[in-house]
Amino acid sequence: MAHFQFEASVSELVRLDGPMVRAPVPRWQRKAMERKDSCCWSPTSPAPMSFSRSKTPKCTPLMDSSLRGAKTPAKTPSKTPSKTPGKKQSKTPTGKRPASATLPPSNQGDRFIPNRALMDLDFSNFRINNDDEPEEGEDVKGRAYSSTLSEMLSGKQTENAKILTLKQKPPKAQEGYYNNLKVLYSSSKCDSTTKAKAGRYIPKTADNVLDAPGLRNDFYLNLVDWGSRNLLAVALHDDLYLWIASSGTVEHLLKLDDPEDYLCSVSWIKEGNVLATGNAQGQVQLWDVEKSKCLRTMDGHAARVGSLSWNEFILTSGSRTGKIHHHDVRVADHHVATLDCHTQEVCGLKWSPDGKYLASGGNDNQVNVWASAAGTGTAPLYSLTQHQAAVKALAWCPWQPSILASGGGTADRTIRFWNCNTGLCLNSVDTGSQVSSILWSAAHKELISSHGFAQYQLSIWKYPMMQRIADLKGHTNRILSMCLSPDQTMVMSAAADETLRRWSCFTSVDSKQKSVKGGKTRTSHALSVGQIR
């Protein structure tokens, strides 16, 4: 027990909230001793003893026979009032604090000091020096008797008692003094109901890698598209293949007759049963994928058709001459309007989700926004000229149909956001490399961009802060095009290394996808194959 006595001595020396034992005797204590001495004083008794600095000596009453019947002299009233009026003064104050003492007011500040009285050191020594496990040959009844006896003596159960217990919870930190590192010292398990929602896992490697020999290394072409029937169309020079995502099989759809001709663009209709293709001779063809049959061929362009976009039954095509044609596929005279504002090749076309606006990007570093009712000779609503390179990447926000995202080429490398109701640039971010395509994720409120020179990666951004979440790397050459799966959970990228890679970058923990909130939804008018002339 010597070490416990040593710890108690050290604790008394360094304790700040207890009485000072070795200090000079306080004035109120000297007054109390004077009153006690006056009660025991007699003419024959010696002079009062001098006060010691350590402990107050006890006054022993004299039992002289000559004073047994004498009256006690009247007490001299003390000038200094008692420390706690109305309560009986303790005869000899001790330096130990009772076990039921509460924390002093100084302990309610910015740090928590546990009450040392709650730590039973004697009982702790008993638990350390006595093993609870019975030894071999020991009587179990005797063991139970010893346990009961120790419980009666110590007032605690030895089996379930803890050596150190803190019955008082620490006070809550004041505002502005919250420490985020306290979780490092927490030993309690996190409740499932209060557990924070963990961030989703984004695989950094592709799920599938498909070989695409003959894929043209041309930044201005759009050679892949994923339809609503889970069919991926891939244009490889003069051949067009369909990859069935559900089974992983590949089917050959068409081959161009002219060996010098090649496919420049592909685009699925919303219903997913008709595929539009544009070739180098300026023709636009419509194909029935179920019957592998060409429904019609539409001429009108004087150069290759590098971009296509559907708006219900209107097919819009962009040419190398800078002209944009609207084709009504329901009528024999398909050419209904021509938009002529670009001075170089049109490499990007995209209709807004509500069908009100058409965005076009060209090699003249310009983005034009057109109204749906724009006819031949009509000027665009807005001509956006902030980009410093060709604009191929165009994407409309699914939950805000008037927000357009555009990406520039090698000399620009920026993604810009436009409000097409006002024509103002809302935000811009420098990606550090050529932007070839942009896609939105309505479920996660994010967007993904594909890049060419010189990083060859896909980048996922959190909108609207444009915080980079992840970079998906794997391609060894610039990424030319990118498309989104029908369930909006996977992305297929096509690169100049002649490979296609599928990325599961937008998968969600919930089985049900969140519904898209925002702009008005337009009425869907399904177009059957029989309506195409």
Strand order from edge to edge, sheet including 382-384: 346-351, 357-362, 367-371, 382-384
List the one residue out of 444, 448, 386 whose CA is nearest residue 416. Answer: 386
pLDDT digits (tens), the chain, 533 positions: 677 778 877 777 766 666 666 667 778 788 888 887 766 555 444 444 444 444 444 444 444 443 344 444 444 444 545 444 444 444 444 444 444 444 444 444 556 666 655 556 666 666 666 655 555 555 666 666 666 666 665 555 555 555 555 556 666 766 655 555 444 444 444 443 333 334 678 999 999 999 999 999 999 999 999 999 999 999 999 999 999 999 999 999 999 999 899 999 999 999 999 999 999 999 999 999 999 999 999 999 999 999 999 999 999 999 999 999 999 999 999 999 999 999 999 999 999 999 999 999 999 999 999 999 888 889 999 999 999 999 999 999 999 999 999 999 999 999 999 999 999 999 999 999 999 999 999 999 999 999 998 889 999 999 999 999 999 999 999 999 999 999 999 999 999 999 999 999 998 645 344 444 444 444 444 555 666 76
Report the distance separating Cα 533 and Cα 525, nearest Å: 17
Report the distance separating Cα 79 and Cα 291, nearest Å: 116
The set of residues, in sequence order, having a beta carbon less than 8 Å from that of 36 and lying 6+ positions away, is 59, 91
Q: How many Cβ atoms sit within 10 Å of the Cβ of residue 95?
A: 12
Supply the DSSP string of 426-476, one letter for each residue: EEEEE-SS-EEEEEEETTTTEEEEEE-TTT-EEEEEETTTTEEEEEEE--S
CA 167: distance to chain centroid? Answer: 37
- Tokens 């915080």 label which residue? 467
Query: What's the pLDDT score for residue 158?
Result: 56
Q: Write the CA distances from 174 to 180, 370, 452, integer angstroms.
A: 13, 57, 52
List the one residue out of 409, 414, 469, 418 whose CA is nearest residue 441. Answer: 469
Residue 365 Rama label (left phi>0; alpha psi -120 to 50; beta): left
Q: How many Cβ atoms sit within 10 Å of the Cβ of residue 286?
A: 22
Report the distance separating Cα 398 and Cα 402, nearest Å: 9
Helix axes of 2-14 and 121-129: crossing angle, nearest 10 degrees: 150
pTM equals 0.62
Question: Phi, psi (5° rounding) for residue 11?
Answer: -65, -40
Report the distance separating Cα 329 and Cα 531, nearest Å: 8
Please check whether residue 360 is in contact with residue 318, taking contact to mean a CB–CB distance below 8 angstroms.
yes
Please check whether residue 330 is in contact with residue 532, taking contact to mean a CB–CB distance below 8 angstroms.
yes
Distance linking the first and last C-alpha atoms of the chain: 104
Q: Three-state secondary structure along 249-279?
A: EEEEEEECCCCCCCEEEEEECCCCCEEEEEE
